[in-house]
Structure 1
Amino acid sequence: MKPKHKVLVFNFLGFAILFVLFRFGLSLFLKLDSFYMSLIAAISASFLAPKYAIVKKEGLDKIVMKWIFFKGFKEL
């Protein structure tokens, strides 16, 4: 699998897992319309999900991750 495709899958999985957790977590505590709960979950998940990218380093493609809970970039 190409690194470009891995990054796309990692970004999607990070967002999707957090979105589902927030969506069902909010439904347990709040009694809002499903649209507003989904909107809140999407905004929260997009802010808290780790971001993956490709960096060309020394002629090689490296996958790096940035997350608000880590300082700097982490190379995978």
Structure 2
Amino acid sequence: MKPKNKALVYNFLGFAILFIAIRFLVGMLLDLKTILLAIIAGVVTIVLAPKFAVVKTPKGKKLMMSWIFLKGVREL
């Protein structure tokens, strides 16, 4: 699998897992309509989800990750 495709899959999985967890958590705590619940979970997930990207280096393409809870950028 190409690094660009891996980054896309990792971004989707990170977002999806956090979105579902946050949606259920907020749904249990607050009594909101489903659309408002989804919007709140989406905004929070956009901020908290890790970001994956492909960077070109002299050695080739590398998959990098940036996350709000980790300092700096990590190579995968």
Runs of 4+ displaced beyond 6 Å: none
How high is the sequence identity, in percent, across the aligned residues?
Answer: 50
Query: How far apart, CA to CA, are the structure 2 residues paired with 1:22 and 1:51?
Result: 18
Q: How far 1:59 moved relative to its partner? A: 3.7
Query: 1:69, 1:26 → 2: CA distance?
Result: 21
2:5 is aligned with 1:5: yes
TM-score, normalising length: structure 2: 0.97
SS at match of 1:69: coil
User: What letter corresponds to residue 66 of structure 1 in structure 2?
Assistant: S
Between the aligned partners of 1:49 and 1:61, the Cα distance in structure 2 is: 23
- The runs of 5 or more residues in structure 1 that have no matched partner are none
How big is the alpha-carbon RMSD for the aligned residues of Structure 1 and Structure 2?
Answer: 0.7
TM-score after normalising by structure 1: 0.97
Aligned residues: 76
Q: Secondary structure at the match of 1:68?
A: coil
Q: Note if 1:43 corresponds to 2:43.
A: yes
CA deviation after TM superposition for structure 1 residue 58, in Å: 1.4
> Aligned-pair distance for 1:43?
0.4
Deviation at 1:57, TM superposition (A): 1.2
Aligned position for 1:24: 24
Structure 2: segments with no counterpart, 5+ residues: none
